[in-house]
Amino acid sequence: MRPGHLAAVMIAALASGCAQKHSGTSVAQDPFVSAPSQMATNIVVTFSDSTIVKARLYASVGRVFEQEAKTTMSGPVTVDFFDRDNQRPAARLTSDSCVVDDRTKNMTAIGNVRVVSLRRDVTLTSSELSWIQSTQRIRTERAVRIETPQELINGVGFESNQDLSSYRLWRVSGVQQK
């Protein structure tokens, strides 16, 4: 065998021996790849447009995931929604946790979600609810329960302004008069 052929055979043998080996952990499961880039406790986040405060979020722990452009908050989580007067909250949302889209500033509250209108006697409960920052509206496609002094309303799918003064249920499944 000539020296040139021997070198070619050696390179081919080395290349085939360098096949990709599986370590048993995928990149998606690697805790260092999926770890937050920032983490903080006792969080207060203010959502505003110029000088107008739209909402203020309070959470026990916050985690920023820069590559995914999202921030997760765990709780309990409380969000105060403000009207244009900025003086006092119009409604308060509480939940177990939430996810904020860092691009749009939209928020999705998850787990034991409760919204109480502080100016009206209306309470909404659901398992998940989204707040759209640009329109200041809340919505969900999940089951909801609305309680007013006159009635209890159950349904699936909901949209409202953030103080619950004007809401719409997509599929009402029951109304009970008090």
The C-alpha atoms of residue 110 and residue 126 are separated, in whole angstroms, by 9
Q: How many CB atoms lie within 10 A of CB 172?
A: 13
Q: N- to C-terminal Cα distance for the chain?
A: 97
SS3 103: coil
This prediction has a pTM of 0.77
Taking only the tens place, the pLDDT of each residue in 115-173 is 999 888 999 999 999 999 888 899 999 999 999 999 999 999 999 998 999 999 999 99
Q: SS in 3 state form for 7-48?
A: HHHHHHHHHHHCCCCCCCCCHHHCCCCCCCCEEEEEEEEEEE
CATH number given to 32-177: 2.60.450.10
Q: What percent of the chain has pLDDT over 70?
A: 80
Q: Where are the domains of the chain?
A: 32-177
Classify strands 70-82 and 123-132 as parallel, antiparallel or unpaired: unpaired
